[in-house]
Amino acid sequence: MKKPPGPDRERRGRLVRSLGALREMLPGSFVERKRSCGHPNCRCADGKSLHSQFQISVLVDGKPKAFNVPAELREQVREKTAMRRRFDDAAAAICSINLKRFLAQKDNR
Ligand SMILES: [Zn+2]
């Protein structure tokens, strides 16, 4: 009979299975910037009714880059950068379970 998995192994299994849903994750962070367009007759000329500009801010080869995001894609990009944080949290939780298991295994040799 198979040894029943402990709560840590069950939790690790759930975490690993949750990663597939995060496959569309994007790196970096989603940012919204306010800017004026420079046209003297535009609503933004008062310096208050500024335009929103959406960007994804990422490191590419170690250098910070910002790429514009079209307004209609902003929710998608916001969600996908949040996926990366959930991925990192899950990876950290898996590592901490594995460390605990490694230390227990090492002591029980
Ligand atoms: Zn403007």
Residue 46: both structure tokens together? 């008062």
Whole-angstrom Cα distance, residue 78 to residue 16? 23
In a domain, 46, yes or no: yes
Supply the range of the domain harboring residue 68. Answer: 7-107
Rounded to the nearest whole angstrom, what is the distance from the C-alpha of residue 79 to the centroid of ligand 1? Answer: 28
Instruction: DSSP letter for 60, please.
Output: E
In a domain, 41, yes or no: yes
Rounded to the nearest whole angstrom, what is the distance from the C-alpha of residue 33 to the centroid of ligand 1? Answer: 13
Rounded to the nearest whole angstrom, what is the distance from the C-alpha of residue 77 to the centroid of ligand 1? Answer: 24
Task: Indicate the number of domains in the chain.
Answer: 1
Rounded to the nearest whole angstrom, what is the distance from the C-alpha of residue 65 to the centroid of ligand 1? Answer: 24
Average pLDDT over residues 2-10: 80
Instruction: Quick: pLDDT tens for 14-66.
Output: 999 999 999 999 999 999 999 999 999 999 999 899 999 999 999 999 999 99
Where does residue 61 fall: left (phi above 0), alpha (psi -120 to 50 degrees), or beta otherwise? left
Give ion ligand 1 contacts, CB < 5 A.
37, 42, 44
User: What is the pTM assigned to this prediction?
Assistant: 0.80
Rounded to the nearest whole angstrom, what is the distance from the C-alpha of residue 98 to the centroid of ligand 1? Answer: 54
Whole-angstrom Cα distance, residue 42 to residue 50? 9
In a domain, 51, yes or no: yes
pLDDT at 12 over 70: yes
- pLDDT, residue 90, reads 97
